[in-house]
Amino acid sequence: MTWRIASLLEEGSANLRANWFRSVLLLAICGAGFGGLAVLELRQGMELTEFARDYRAGGAYVAIASVPGGGVSGTRCETLNGHPGVVAAGAWRGAGQSTFPTAPGVLFQAADVTPGILRVWDTGQPLGIGPGLVIGPAMAEELGLRPDLIASFVSSEPVRVSGVGNFSRRNPQVARWALSPVSSEGRFDECWVEFEPGAYEAGRDALAARFAEGSADPAVRPYRRSDEFTRDPAAEWDDRPQKRGWVAVPVVLFAFGLVAAWFRRAESGLYLAIGTRRAQLAIMAAAETWPLVAAGWSLGFPYAVAAQAVWGEEPTRDVAIHAATISGAAALALLVLLPWASALVTRGSIAALLKDR
């Protein structure tokens, strides 16, 4: 028997409408499969994204250069700003301890800093840089200081507070420091440099050579030391269990399709018995299953995004695109496989059909 494509599609659509329970069941299974895969990708992707964000905010890519018994050049340190792979660089030197007449006996560490190091220590807010003091939150709270107020050290001229910075993520001890922004000329105790993640290793290794001068032997250390217990987000992502989920999900759903086709083998066998080819049977099945697979993904993926937003952090654009790509690839694979379920299990022998009956 010769079928036109339009007739095959019409016949498949009629089969889709004929058994609403079977159609709803397949729709629910597809939605659960694609949505579950997307949930796993979104959850692990956002968990690793949050960890990498916190890891970087905590100074994971910060290196500190110092010269034992000497000092590092503030000019060489500040000129690192603007270099490829450098986020910020700056230097500081201790200026001893001091106190305020309003709080005698309460000592605070004073330090001279170049503007760049404030960007390394405090990545979350812009600080007022200029004449005056930049102080930590502990010092501001204890003395009741805020930006634009005038303060004075013992035996020093009054000075304006130009900013209050929260340095606890990168350098907690600075919370009780009074920082005086100064020119980068001269020698400083340390140079702090934050690199882009991809430039960290090479940049850190090159710092010692940059500050080598005469007989000085610069030392470079990472702000956060890593060991065998340090998490590696890239390795965790590469080894995630659902990495091949775009293959596993359509295979499982195709197995369900085979079981469903087995219970309909007599119905499908009638088509073969009257001369319908297996390829035409697959086209007919495509008209029946493709709308359900497409609708299942259209329902499952938005549900996964909503679930992640409710139970965790709202997914970023990159993570959402990746989850959509993986679950979409699973849906496309199922679109190719599922129509052939009926063609694989159906027999066209009249005798076999009567035996099945």
Residues 169, 224 contacting (CB under 8 angstroms): no
CA 298 to chain centre: 24
Instruction: Specify whether the CB–CB gap between 43 and 309 falls below 8 A.
Output: no
DSSP 273-333: HTT--HHHHHHHHHHHHHHHHHHHHHHHHHHHHHHHHHHSPPPPHHHHHHHHHHHHHHHHH
Q: Please check whether residue 191 is in contact with residue 64, taking contact to mean a CB–CB distance below 8 angstroms.
A: yes
Which pLDDT score is estimated for 128?
Answer: 47
Could you give phi then psi for residue 196, rounded to 5 degrees?
A: -65, 150
What is the model's pLDDT at position 262?
Answer: 83
* pTM higher than the cut 0.75: no
**Residues in the chain where the model's pLDDT stays below 50:** 128
AA letter at 204 = R
Residue spans of beta strands (DSSP E) within the chain: 62-66, 72-73, 86-100, 103-113, 133-135, 150-151, 159-164, 177-181, 187-188, 190-195, 219-222
Scored b (16 or more CB within 10 A) or e, 154-188 reads eeeeeeebbbbbbbeebbeebbbbbbbbbebeeeb
Q: Tell me what pLDDT residue 181 has.
A: 85
pLDDT of 41: 95
Q: Residue 204 in contact with residue 59, Cβ under 8 Å?
A: no
Give the per-residue pLDDT at 155. Answer: 62
